[in-house]
Amino acid sequence: MYSQIDSNKRNSVILMMIFIIIIIGIGYGLEFIWGDGSFVFVWGAVIFSLLMTSISYFTGDKIALASTGAKEIIKEDNAYLYRIVENLCITAGQPTPKVYIIEDMAINAFATGRKPEISSIAVTRGAIEKLANEELEGVIAHELSHIKNYDIRFMMLVAVLVGSIALISDIFIRSQFYGGRDRENKSHPVFLVIGILLAILSPLIAELIKLAISRKREYLADASASLLTRYPEGLARALEKISLENQPMQKSSNATAHLFISSPFSGKKISNLFSTHPPIADRIKKLREMM
């Protein structure tokens, strides 16, 4: 379990470094075309991206919960679910998050919040009714691990980098057509091709890296959940039941898909390259190797 956690943390850092290299590369391209002072525009794009992401950072949890129709509960509303969350938090030594139920019969759950003290966990009605006690514990432990590992905060940083790359790429291609100190140089067909390629490929590459990081964090949360419950088989069985379902969630969107324990678009064929989650069969295999 510890090896899996260390491996996923290391790989996530490597992917973040690739992000930074891409941003530096685009910035260097702008400097090469525009000459001295062009980094003013680069930093402007980065600051704008940071500003927009900060707004999402502080309000994203409320938006995610509202978009799925999640309703907050107290212990008296569903003592069974609330006590599982409470007991696992005591074991993990972390604050108990707010607990929500999503009235949807698909088996799924997600956590949100930028730190353990300000966090929420939402579980579908289907997960509560269809999963055995140990299976539901595994699912909740997975989501609590996202909170404890600061995965939500980490993914917000990734979102900043993706947004920055998209904005800088847009500036790059616009520089080919609009004013500047060296218009003849900027209008050269070679630089125009470079600008177009960067504008098209950089955001795509950044999005693929973001999805790759999201998949790595899922493996890390699986390993952390197994460490918390000391019973990887519980989560493995829950994932098996999810894999057998062909029932997408009623309220799901690409913006919140990465938050869930499994893709809310169940039954829809999505390439692994463009998926927010690793293949369930692979996750089950890794969990059972931990036993």
User: What is the structure's pLDDT at 50?
Assistant: 64
Given a cut of 50, whether residue 19 has pLDDT beyond it is yes
Mean pLDDT of the 153-175 span: 69
User: What is the structure's pLDDT at 192?
Assistant: 61
Q: Which of 123-127, 145-149, 233-237, 250-254 has the lowest mean pLDDT?
A: 250-254
Label residue 181 by pLDDT band (50, 70, 90).
very low
Clarify whether residues 134 and 194 are in a common domain.
no
Clarify whether residues 137 and 241 are in a common domain.
yes
Most confident segment among 16-25, 152-161, 193-202, 273-282: 273-282
Given a cut of 80, whether residue 12 has pLDDT beyond it is no
d(CA 118, CA 123): 17
pLDDT digits (tens, 9 = 90+) for 73-93: 999 999 999 999 999 999 999
d(CA 39, CA 69): 43
* More confident call, 235 vs 39: 235
pLDDT digits (tens, 9 = 90+) for 246-290: 778 887 776 677 788 988 876 555 555 567 788 899 999 999 998
Label residue 41 by pLDDT band (50, 70, 90).
low
* More confident call, 105 vs 186: 105
> Is the pTM of the predicted complex or chain greater than 0.85?
no
Given a cut of 90, whether residue 191 has pLDDT beyond it is no
Clarify whether residues 261 and 242 are in a common domain.
yes
Clarify whether residues 261 and 147 are in a common domain.
yes
CA-nearest of 251, 288, 238, 218 to 84 is: 238
Clarify whether residues 54 and 104 are in a common domain.
no
Q: Which three-class secondary structure state does DSSP give residue 181?
A: coil
Given a cut of 90, whether residue 102 has pLDDT beyond it is yes
Kindly report the backbone phi and psi dihedral angles of residue 182, in degrees, each rounded to the nearest multiple of 5, phi listed first: -130, 70
Clarify whether residues 86 and 10 are in a common domain.
no
Most confident segment among 1-10, 146-155, 169-178, 185-194: 146-155
Given a cut of 60, whether residue 190 has pLDDT beyond it is yes
CATH for 270: 3.30.2010.10
Q: Which three-class secondary structure state does DSSP give residue 33?
A: helix
| C-alpha distance from residue 195 to each of 36, 178, 179 (Å) | 18, 13, 15
Clarify whether residues 234 and 273 are in a common domain.
yes
Average pLDDT of every residue of the chain: 79
Clarify whether residues 234 and 205 are in a common domain.
no
Given a cut of 80, whether residue 137 has pLDDT beyond it is yes
Count structural domains, the chain: 2
Clarify whether residues 54 and 186 are in a common domain.
yes
Mean pLDDT of the 119-139 span: 96
% of the chain beyond a pLDDT of 90 = 36
Range of the domain at 169: 2-60+160-213
Count Cβ atoms below 10 Å from residue 241 Cβ, excluding itself: 16
Last residue of a domain, one of 213, 232, 258: 213
pLDDT digits (tens, 9 = 90+) for 197-244: 766 776 777 777 777 777 888 998 999 999 999 999 999 999 999 999
Clarify whether residues 111 and 26 are in a common domain.
no
Label residue 49 by pLDDT band (50, 70, 90).
low
Kindly report the backbone phi and psi dihedral angles of residue 9, in degrees, each rounded to the nearest multiple of 5, phi listed first: -65, -45
CA-nearest of 85, 80, 79 to 98 is: 85
Clarify whether residues 35 and 140 are in a common domain.
no
| Selected catalytic residue, list 31, 76, 135, 143 | 143
Clarify whether residues 186 and 69 are in a common domain.
no
Last residue of a domain, one of 196, 213, 230: 213
Residue 143 falls in the annotated catalytic set? yes
User: What is the structure's pLDDT at 159?
Assistant: 67
Label residue 148 by pLDDT band (50, 70, 90).
confident
Last residue of a domain, one of 169, 195, 213: 213
Label residue 57 by pLDDT band (50, 70, 90).
low
